[in-house]
Structure 1
Amino acid sequence: MKFENILEEIDGFGPFQIVIIVLLCAPRIVLPCHYLLNNFIAALPPHRCDISPLDDGGLFRNLTSSRD
């Protein structure tokens, strides 16, 4: 008995088979994204914090430590 004959006996490819196919294919779509994630989060680019706005009270000039 061939697979096509079995499908004909059980009324063909129905909604249950479609749901099973979707559930089996969904991880195949998401898994490559998971593997590529390491390429983006593993690298540490060179950086330097720019603190020039803090000089001479630039950005925080209105902040004081006194409580009025």
Structure 2
Amino acid sequence: MAKIHQFVTADKREAFAEAQFKEADRLAKEAEKLMKKVVKLRQSANRLLAPRRLSVIRKRRMLHHERDD
């Protein structure tokens, strides 16, 4: 009786471990998709902010040039 019980629990453990691996793979794929989305959003945000940043840099340069005069 004890041996049968050991086999059943071993099978259950193996099935549980297999399910955990599948879930881990699914979550890894989901995380990869989300990271790609994050990269795209950051790039678009940087593109949108770039002109403003450039104008701030230009203003600072102009101020420095005025100070030099």
Structure 1 length normalisation: TM-score? 0.44
Q: Higher relative CO (CA 8 A, sep ≥ 6), structure 1 or 2?
A: 1
Larger Rg: 1
Query: Would you tell me which structure has more helix in proportion to its own residues?
Result: 2
